[in-house]
Structure 1
Amino acid sequence: MRNARLTLDPAFTVAPVPHRLFGSFVEHMGRCVYTGIFEPGHQAADERGLRTDVLQLVRELAPTVVRYPGGNFVSGYRWEDGVGPVAERPRRLDLAWGSVETNEFGLHEFDTWAREVGTETMMAINLGTRGVQEALDLLEYCNIGGGTRLSDQRIANGSKDPFGIKLWCLGNEMDGPWQTGHKTAHEYGRLAAETARAMRQVDPDLELVACGSSSRSMPTFGAWESTVLELAYDQVDYVSAHAYYQEFDGDAASFLASAVDMDAFIEQVVATADGVGARLKNRKRINISFDEWNVWYQSRPHKDPSIEKWTVAPRVIEDQYSVTDAVVVGTLLNSLLRHGDRVTIANQAQLVNVIGLLRSEPEGPAWKQTIAHPFEQVRHLARGQVLRVAGTSDRYETARFGDVDVVDASATHDEESGTVTLFLANRDQEQPARVEVGLRGFGAERVLSATTLHAGEGQDRHTANTADAPAAIAPRALEDVSLVDGTATVVLPPLSWSVVQFAGSPA
């Protein structure tokens, strides 16, 4: 039996739970859009071609913000291609993913879908092959009520009311040599500042995200953020961070400790941003938009080798996620919560099919992948204040990250209801973990609910949800939980993600 001792106190908080921390990402990539959220002719499609079976699953996940339309795709995208009569929209080569974009689904279709889901749009603009004027044109088309050429064009295209988009990404991963229109930090920083300044002339209240590093392993990491922010500090509100994790060569121990890397990534970007602010003698604080994160097995082929280049909606990085992946995703969510004072936007990439929370088949079913369950639980149950979690845990050795905690944890406290919620992962693959949690300061009275996600009888750490077994892995009741005199004891199964809620005294 592994052991951990945690202490929580209502006076020791990180920040209010950020509403936008539970975002997702829809890119024109692979089958995320076509046969993902949009498939005219599917038996579950509505009159607009939206798959209602996928819509229902997305509503259950309830992402608070969705980034669109990319991703690498946006760096070659002409937004004008996706408006107006569908029959007149051009087919274009998508250089990012070697496919053909039909533009059947564009700005208006996405706005309709986002309103159906009840989510906020986070719009990415093309600063790879385009620039300031094109960004201004897109902003005018989306957000001006009427009386100008582009706003009147939007109205003529069927949307009388403006889209009202407040959150904008100034390009995507411009540090990456793979990016169409890749730039140096100085080139990008100048362009981002100029674009932001111009956009604020239209609406000074926009929230703007500058591109940070596309991974912590980039050779320019740190220097990129420093240069970009020195040029654009006054004009932007956020700097982005992207991170994907996978298991290498069967090293599950290191993979399960991926959140250690995410913690360090966040803290280093914060330190860099604050250092720039100090050098500029600027009291403004730049926060982090962690607008791409997930498990992604990049060591596998990105594309089905049987599919030729320049096809429509090819099968691209359709990873099938396991119990192990779900536990890792839970710990990454814990990392984001623990840094909720500075990470105030996050988007799990992506929503459907492409490294997706959800999977769907053309003319077939849709279902939740294992990784959807931690996302859905944290989205709905993290309320009020993020708590500082103090304590100790047994440790284990990893090849990549050294000595790490067996038990990974985050917690929230809803002062209005008094509810305390614990999000717990046991990284040990063989042994259960006994966790003692001090809750005396909350007036904790009883256990409200307790669930766990782990491999059951006849399953192992590689078990996944499939079209034939869509609910093979899902949260189930966690029985071994007690609360005595303000101290909770929770026994976590090996390799598991668990959520426990306690009833406390309301404020």
Structure 2
Amino acid sequence: MLRAHIHLDPQAVVAPVRRRTFGSFVEHLGRCVYTGLYEPDHPTANPDGFRMDVVDLVRELGTTTVRYPGGNFVSGFRWEDSVGPRDQRPVRRDLAWHALESNQVGLDEFARWLKLTDSELMLAVNVATRGILPALDLLEYANHPSGTALSDLRVANGTPEPHDVRMWCLGNEMDGPWQTGFMTADDYGKIAARTAAAMKMADKNLELVVCGSSGSGMPTFGDWERTVLEHAYDHVDYVSCHAYYQVHDGDLGSFLASANDMDYFIDTVLATADHVGHKKRSAKKINISFDEWNVWYLEEHMASQEAGDEWRHAPRQLEDVYTVADAVVVGNLLMTLLKRSDRVTSASLAQLVNVIAPIMTEPGGPAWRQTTFYPFSITSRLASGEVIRPATETPAYATARHGEASVVDAVATVDEDRCSVFLVNRDLRKSAQVTIDVRGLGSSHIAEAVTLADADVYAKNTLAEQHRVTPYANTSAALADGVVTIELPPVSWTAIALR
């Protein structure tokens, strides 16, 4: 058995827990919206057509912010199509995902759905194929109280109160040649700066997110951020990061260390942003919105050519079914985002339902939790107060893709009533005996200790076996003389709550 020791010092504070870390993402892609969130004929549908069984699961998941409506979709989107009487909304081709968009769910309906889930809207504008004026029009429609043409149109459409959207994304992945209207960094930086400046003329308190690289493997990574921010630094508040991970060539050891790459991504983007800030003699710090992250088996989807040649409504696309190992990685990536809460102050798990998602649905049938649902929902529920950085003594192992990685990784949060510790054991075969020194925290008892693991690391939850994988109480956890001892199975994610 492996051994690791963790010391928790209440003075080793990173930052407050950012509730926006527990954001998600809804794109008009595949079945995320249609037969995912929205299915008017479903037995659980409310008068707006939204599945209430999905609403219940989203509330349990604990999402706080939802990025909408894309994603690649937004680069061909005309927001005006999605408001007003539903029977008058046009059907459009979505070039991003080669599908038909009915526009039956739009801004006003989605905002009502968000209220059901107690989530905040993070809205994206199309700067790829449209520009400044449509963005300002959308801002007026969404946020102005009344008394102008577009705010009065919103009122006439049945939404008297403004949506008061605070966070806005200036496009999506504009460095990617797959993006409709993609641009060079110089061209995008200029239009993003002008759009941001105009939007802040309307409301100086908006929080604006400029597109960073769509992945750390892009050939322009780093230089893209520098060029874009040299144009837009004074007008924006966040730069975005997007990262997806999967098992490559059966290399599970590297996959389990994916958080190392996320940490490198964050370090590089922050160094670049701060470099631009220093050049500009600016006192402002640009933070990160990590507004797309997840496990995504992209290579397999690209090989399958699942989009096909037909133009279809809500085709089944990107419906990954996640394993125990995938859930351990998702839990570890979320731990990394918590560790960087000083500068990563918003994040979005991509996506929410059916499309690379923690929640799956069957049309006319049930909704269920994927394996990845559990580490997210438990962390969202238990993480509160301040993030503290543990001092960890752990064995390490070599990976082919991400260098040397610690076998045991951990992060903790502390508030007045509770200390929560989140851990992973990345070893493929051995359990880890972990001791956690909590003497400085005054903890008196263990309120909860749960582990997600399975003898089969590729076990999944499916329509036929919806509860094949669930967290279980880790009865090895004990607290004595200010020290917690716990056994972590191989390839596992664990949460401990101390009172």
TM-score bracket for the superposition, by shorter chain length: over 0.9
Q: Is the 8 A contact 2:97 2:307 kept in 1?
A: no
Partner of 2:465: 469
* Structure 2 letter corresponding to 1:377: I
Report 1:323-342 matches (<5 A): 323-342=324-343
After TM superposition, give the deviation of residue 436 of structure 1 in Å. Answer: 1.3
| 1:319 matches 2:320 | yes
After TM superposition, give the deviation of residue 490 of structure 1 in Å. Answer: 1.3
After TM superposition, give the deviation of residue 62 of structure 1 in Å. Answer: 2.1
Partner of 1:454: 453
Three-state SS of the structure 2 residue aligned to 1:153 is helix
Q: Is the 8 A contact 2:306 2:317 kept in 1?
A: no
Partner of 1:386: 387
After TM superposition, give the deviation of residue 305 of structure 1 in Å. Answer: 3.8
Partner of 1:413: 414
Partner of 1:250: 250
Partner of 1:61: 61
**Count of aligned pairs between the two proteins:** 498
Change (3 A) 1:246 1:123: same
Report 1:139-218 matches (<5 A): 139-218=139-218
Q: Distance in 2 between matches of 1:68 and 1:205?
A: 20
Q: Is the 8 A contact 2:307 2:317 kept in 1?
A: no
Partner of 1:349: 350
Q: Distance in 1 between matches of 2:342 and 2:182?
A: 31
After TM superposition, give the deviation of residue 308 of structure 1 in Å. Answer: 4.1
Q: Is the 8 A contact 1:307 1:314 kept in 2?
A: no
* Structure 1 letter corresponding to 2:400: A
Q: Provide, for residues 95-117 of structure 1, a one-character-per-residue CA deviation record: whole Å limited to 9, x for no partner.
A: 00000101111111101101111
Q: Distance in 2 between matches of 1:410 and 1:99?
A: 41
Partner of 2:131: 131
Q: Distance in 2 between matches of 1:136 and 1:46?
A: 32
* Structure 2 letter corresponding to 1:466: T
Report 1:87-102 matches (<5 A): 87-102=87-102
Report 1:162-311 matches (<5 A): 162-302=162-302, 305=306, 307-311=308-312
After TM superposition, give the deviation of residue 241 of structure 1 in Å. Answer: 0.1
Q: Distance in 1 between matches of 2:433 and 2:264?
A: 27
* Structure 1 letter corresponding to 2:190: R
Partner of 1:19: 19
Q: Distance in 1 between matches of 2:235 and 2:445?
A: 49
Partner of 2:481: 485
After TM superposition, give the deviation of residue 143 of structure 1 in Å. Answer: 0.5
Partner of 1:442: 441
Q: Is the 8 A contact 1:155 1:161 kept in 2?
A: yes
After TM superposition, give the deviation of residue 402 of structure 1 in Å. Answer: 2.3
Partner of 2:28: 28
Q: Is the 8 A contact 1:200 1:206 kept in 2?
A: yes
After TM superposition, give the deviation of residue 306 of structure 1 in Å. Answer: 8.3
* Structure 2 letter corresponding to 1:360: T
* Structure 2 letter corresponding to 1:410: V
Q: Distance in 2 between matches of 1:9 and 1:118?
A: 33
* Structure 1 letter corresponding to 2:459: T
Q: Distance in 1 between matches of 2:287 and 2:263?
A: 15
After TM superposition, give the deviation of residue 399 of structure 1 in Å. Answer: 1.1
Change (3 A) 1:291 1:306: closer
* Structure 2 letter corresponding to 1:442: L
Q: What are structure 2's unaligned runs of at least 5 residues?
A: none
Q: Is the 8 A contact 1:325 1:371 kept in 2?
A: yes
Q: Distance in 1 between matches of 2:242 and 2:310?
A: 27
Q: Distance in 2 between matches of 1:376 and 1:223?
A: 36
Three-state SS of the structure 1 residue aligned to 2:299 is coil
Q: Distance in 2 between matches of 1:329 and 1:275?
A: 30
Q: Is the 8 A contact 2:398 2:405 kept in 1?
A: yes
Q: Distance in 1 between matches of 2:305 and 2:110?
A: 27
Q: Distance in 2 between matches of 1:445 and 1:44?
A: 43
* Structure 1 letter corresponding to 2:102: T
Q: Distance in 1 between matches of 2:398 and 2:204?
A: 50
After TM superposition, give the deviation of residue 309 of structure 1 in Å. Answer: 2.6
Change (3 A) 1:482 1:107: same
Partner of 1:47: 47
Q: Distance in 2 between matches of 1:392 and 1:380?
A: 27
Q: Distance in 2 between matches of 1:125 and 1:85?
A: 22
Three-state SS of the structure 2 residue aligned to 1:301 is helix
Q: Provide, for residues 59-104 of structure 1, a one-character-per-residue CA deviation record: whole Å limited to 9, x for no partner.
A: 1112100000000000000000001111111010100000010111
Three-state SS of the structure 1 residue aligned to 2:397 is strand
| Percent identity between the two aligned chains | 55
Taking structure 1 as the reference length, the TM-score comes to 0.97
Q: Is the 8 A contact 1:304 1:316 kept in 2?
A: no
Q: Distance in 2 between matches of 1:31 and 1:179?
A: 20
Q: Distance in 1 between matches of 2:182 and 2:32?
A: 24
After TM superposition, give the deviation of residue 3 of structure 1 in Å. Answer: 1.4
Three-state SS of the structure 2 residue aligned to 1:67 is strand
Q: Is the 8 A contact 1:453 1:496 kept in 2?
A: yes
Q: Distance in 2 between matches of 1:108 and 1:388?
A: 41
Q: Distance in 1 between matches of 2:291 and 2:480?
A: 41
| 1:369 matches 2:365 | no
Q: Distance in 2 between matches of 1:254 and 1:273?
A: 28
Q: Distance in 1 between matches of 2:450 and 2:130?
A: 49
* Structure 2 letter corresponding to 1:372: F
CA RMSD of aligned residues (A): 1.1
Q: Is the 8 A contact 2:245 2:258 kept in 1?
A: yes
Partner of 2:114: 114
| Divergent runs of 4+, >4 A | none
Q: Distance in 2 between matches of 1:449 and 1:363?
A: 36
* Structure 2 letter corresponding to 1:408: D
Q: Distance in 2 between matches of 1:63 and 1:252?
A: 28
Q: What are structure 1's unaligned runs of at least 5 residues?
A: none
* Structure 1 letter corresponding to 2:75: S
Three-state SS of the structure 1 residue aligned to 2:300 is coil
